[in-house]
A and B are shown apart, each in its own frame.
Chain A
Amino acid sequence: MFLTETDIEAIALTLRLATVTTLILFALGTPIAWWLARTRSRWKGPIGAVVALPLVLPPSVLGFYLLVAMGPNGPVGRLTEAFGIGLLPFTFWGLVAGSVFYSLPFMVQPVQNAFESIGDRPLEAAATLRAAPLDRFFSVALPLSLPGFVTAGILTFAHTVGEFGVVLMIGGNIPGVTRVASVQIYDYVEALEYGNAHRLAAVLLVFSFLVLLALYTWKPSGKKQ
């Protein structure tokens, strides 16, 4: 067979992680993007910088701090233990927590750009037609920025699939729980099983290319730019 059973398991886990992370980030990233796009607060700069941090930080830095923060002596670890969830490292939800932070800018920035490009006028027009703030958001802003959401969703998903450093640091390499495809490839290379490494790596390469190809050739109908 082309891929081994553990490869399939790793791929399935990777897709599950990317899906869950993307869904959570839609819910979490949209209000952040909205706020960043509309606010005149002096906190816009600092918050925007925090959101962008994962773009420039090495995953080893993120992973290391996550491991310490989510450990029994870290603030997050104390919190999760107090809530009876236990410790997050070495669990699927620990990876999700790490990925949400790691992929945050890939969700927030495209959505923020989309919100900003709408401008004030459509929302003001809606307001004069007595649309309430929530109504203005859901009936005007959201449909107009749909292309931004599609881009953000695809980028977030693909970026999470490609995650390596953070899962390596907090994952613990547990089959079916935290051993994602990128870590599996690393294992193959270290164990000198280059044939297996090639096959799984090729799958990820083709996947990434197709995702980006779709993104670059896709022409949003609503976008007038």
Chain B
Amino acid sequence: MNPFQLSSAPRTPAALILTLFTGLTPLAANADEAQIAVAANFTAPMKAIIASFEEDTDHTVKASYGSTGKLYAQIKNGAPFEALLAADQKRPKLLEEEDKLGVPGTRFTYAIGTLVLWSADADKVEDGPALLKSGDFNKLSIANPKLAPYGEASIETLEALDLKDTIEPKFVMGENIAQTYQFVDTGNADIGFVALSQVMEGGKIIKGSGWVVPSEMHAPIRQDALILESGKDNPAVTELFSYLKGEKAKAIIHDFGYETD
């Protein structure tokens, strides 16, 4: 295939160079690239979904992972992302309704997060509530409730157990769920509330020990996705969004311990 025959190719030097480079790899005529921003807690499943998506279509996906707050600020300041997969509903909603940076009507809940009380020690967490009540741990790592929906859900869980005030002096806070996990994984905090997706693979917890917090103990952690203005006409983005709603992606999402609608 001769890349120069693409009628839609823009005739600027930069685009020419880009075409030359992409022309070196075997490429179908309708292959596009999506550049998306993804919440840190969804890193592992998203990597699996992207691999599967790229195999099933000719599109490629470039993902940046970070905390939703940071990604939101970057998008507001002109970051070239074409879609956002957030850790909450608040920021996609803001982008769509107030900032007018999102494509109206494309917002949907792609995953519902599950919280787990986790320890790197394989014997530490057997009965979660009993362990929390006993106080038999040095620190409890939680995501900053002001910044992360997982942190908010952690606080709600402790309130449901009526333990928040007793345990608060033992809090250490990660800036996002990735750092929260790091505190526990390095053993500096005995236990912590992390995303089930961080410790789960193939439907089971693969290291340490954990107690999956029943979903009725906190408000659901609904994670919304939104197509941004710059991604409106990119087929790779729109197809990725329909892919996310499809059975294949949902199976991966469930595998990593998330629920879906």
Q: How far is the CA of A86 from the CA of B172 in the complex (A)?
A: 15
Q: How far is the CA of A223 from the CA of B73 in the complex (A)?
A: 48
Interface: A87 (CB within 8 A)? yes
Interface flags, B115-156, vs A, CB<8A=1, else 0: 000000000000000000000001101001011000000000
Quote the shortest CB–CB distance from A71 to chain B (angstroms). 5
- Say yes or no: A172-B139 contact (C-beta < 8 A), given A187-B147, A190-B67, A190-B175: yes
Interface flags, A151-192, vs B, CB<8A=1, else 0: 000000000000000001100111000000000001101111
Q: Which residues of A contact B174 (CB under 8 A)?
A: 172-173
Q: How far is the CA of A168 from the CA of B182 in the complex (A)?
A: 12
Which of A72, A86, A168, A191 is the one whose CB lies under 8 Å from B187? A72
Which of B69, B70, B172, B188 is the one whose CB lies under 8 Å from A174? B172
Count of chain B residues near A, Cβ 8 A: 23
Q: B144 touching A89 by the CB < 8 A rule?
A: no
Most buried by A among B73, B144, B173, B183: B173
Interface flags, A50-76, vs B, CB<8A=1, else 0: 000000000000000001101111000
Interface: A106 (CB within 8 A)? no
Q: How far is the CA of A134 from the CA of B243 in the complex (A)?
A: 76
Quote the shortest CB–CB distance from A98 to chain B (angstroms). 13
Q: A67 touching B147 by the CB < 8 A rule?
A: no
Q: Which residues of B contact A190 (CB under 8 A)?
A: 67, 69-70, 73, 147, 175
Interface: B211 (CB within 8 A)? no
Interface: B12 (CB within 8 A)? no
- Say yes or no: A90-B139 contact (C-beta < 8 A), given A71-B187, A173-B144, A191-B147: yes
- Say yes or no: A173-B186 contact (C-beta < 8 A), given A90-B139, A189-B73: no
Q: Which residues of A contact B175 (CB under 8 A)?
A: 168, 173, 186-187, 190
Q: How far is the CA of A96 from the CA of B95 in the complex (A)?
A: 40
The SS class assigned to the A binding surface is loop
Interface: B241 (CB within 8 A)? no
Interface flags, B154-183, vs A, CB<8A=1, else 0: 000000000000000001111100010011
Q: B67 touching A90 by the CB < 8 A rule?
A: no
Interface: B72 (CB within 8 A)? yes
Q: Which residues of B contact A172 (CB under 8 A)?
A: 139, 141, 171-174, 183, 189
Q: A87 touching B188 by the CB < 8 A rule?
A: yes
> Which residue of chain A is the closest to B171 with respect to CB atoms?
A174
Q: Which residues of B contact A72 (CB under 8 A)?
A: 187-188
Quote the shortest CB–CB distance from B172 to chain A (angstroms). 3
> Which residue of chain A is the closest to B146 with respect to CB atoms?
A191
Q: B188 touching A67 by the CB < 8 A rule?
A: yes
Q: B72 touching A192 by the CB < 8 A rule?
A: yes
Q: Which residues of A contact B146 (CB under 8 A)?
A: 187, 191
Q: How far is the CA of A187 from the CA of B73 in the complex (A)?
A: 12
Q: How far is the CA of A67 from the CA of B179 in the complex (A)?
A: 11
Q: A90 touching B186 by the CB < 8 A rule?
A: no
Interface flags, B184-223, vs A, CB<8A=1, else 0: 0011110000000000000000000000000000000000
Q: B72 touching A68 by the CB < 8 A rule?
A: no
Q: A67 touching B186 by the CB < 8 A rule?
A: yes
Q: Which residues of B contact A73 (CB under 8 A)?
A: 186-187
Q: B187 touching A90 by the CB < 8 A rule?
A: no
Q: How far is the CA of A86 from the CA of B171 in the complex (A)?
A: 16
- Say yes or no: A174-B173 contact (C-beta < 8 A), given A68-B186, A189-B69: yes
> Which residue of chain B is the closest to A188 with respect to CB atoms?
B146
Interface flags, B62-84, vs A, CB<8A=1, else 0: 00000101101100000000000
Quote the shortest CB–CB distance from A93 to chain B (angstroms). 14
Which of A89, A168, A187 is the one whose CB lies under 8 Å from B188? A89
Which of A168, A173, A191 is the one whose CB lies under 8 Å from B69? A191
Residues of B within 8 A of A (CB): 67, 69-70, 72-73, 138-139, 141, 144, 146-147, 171-175, 179, 182-183, 186-189
Those 6 A-B pairs whose CB atoms lie nearest each other, nearest first: A172-B172, A190-B69, A173-B173, A72-B187, A89-B188, A71-B186
A-B contact pairs, 14 of them (CB 8 A): A67-B186, A71-B186, A72-B187, A72-B188, A73-B187, A87-B138, A90-B188, A90-B189, A173-B174, A187-B175, A189-B69, A190-B147, A191-B69, A192-B69
Task: For the A-B complex with A168-B175, A172-B183, A174-B172 known, give 17 more contacts whose Cβ atoms are closer than 8 Å.
Answer: A70-B188, A73-B187, A77-B188, A87-B138, A89-B172, A89-B183, A90-B189, A168-B179, A172-B139, A172-B173, A172-B174, A173-B174, A174-B173, A187-B144, A190-B73, A190-B147, A191-B146
